[in-house]
Amino acid sequence: MHPSTPRVLILGIGNLLWADEGFGIRCAEALAASYELPESVTVMDGGTQGLYLLPYVTEATHLLVFDAIDYGLPPGTMKLVRDDEVPRFMGAKKMSLHQTGFQEVIASAALVEGLPAEMVLIGVQPAELEDFGGSLREPVRACLPRVLEAAVTVLREWGVDVRPRDGGAERLNAAPLSIHDYEAGRPSEAEACRIGDARFMPGGAG
């Protein structure tokens, strides 16, 4: 790899099982499926791993994060922040433990002087979180194309060769977790408990 080639880490963070909390992961999934990226770019489902992500962050020169952020704005509102603003917005209003965990990752990377030179957070205001086993709500799902367009613009600003895929899609997660199969496997709204999903309950359906 040429010394000037940016080492880019693209992280989708959140929890797929909590409706719009899975937004960040769905963005990373869609980006990997829709675009060809060079070997210098890593796309990861960061889930709720917290400090386990530290080695990946400190190895990167550029960091792009997708996440659902409670900005107190209308559902589906997208907000892009850069560099020093990223830690502040990750903790704007914590919705779950993963945001505390990722704040710690950023702080720890700074402490060991391993913070990426450039950072971008693309966040979207969630519509619904209290739906265990649910998927993205319509206002959040509808903004996915706009979020991917913004991400591609950022990557190209960083000198990354981003090209639309011509052919088979890259799969970020195992098939049952992909958004299509995940949603297809859920019972109808009339049958499913809106505070849970039998697939993830003790003794529930497999």
**Mode of pairing for the β-strands spanning 62-68 and 118-124:** parallel
Return d(Cα 25, Cα 178) in angstroms, integer. Answer: 10
Residue 175 pLDDT level (bands cut at 50, 70, 90): low
Domains of the chain as residue ranges with CATH = 8-200 (3.40.50.1450)
3-state secondary structure 102-147: HHHHHHHHHHCCCCCCEEEEEEECCCCCCCECECCCHHHHHCHHHH
Q: Residue 56 has what pLDDT?
A: 94
Please give the full DSSP string across 156-174, using - where no structure is assigned: HHTT---EE--SSPPPSS-
**Residue pLDDT, tens place only, 8-32:** 999 999 888 888 888 999 999 999 9
Average model confidence (pLDDT) for the chain? Answer: 82
Best mean pLDDT range from 102-116, 123-137, 182-196: 102-116
Average pLDDT over residues 111-126: 92
**Residue pLDDT, tens place only, 90-101:** 654 455 544 557
Instruction: Answer whether residue 3 shows pLDDT above 60.
Output: no
Average pLDDT over residues 180-188: 66
Residue 102 pLDDT level (bands cut at 50, 70, 90): confident
Q: Residue 199 has what pLDDT?
A: 62
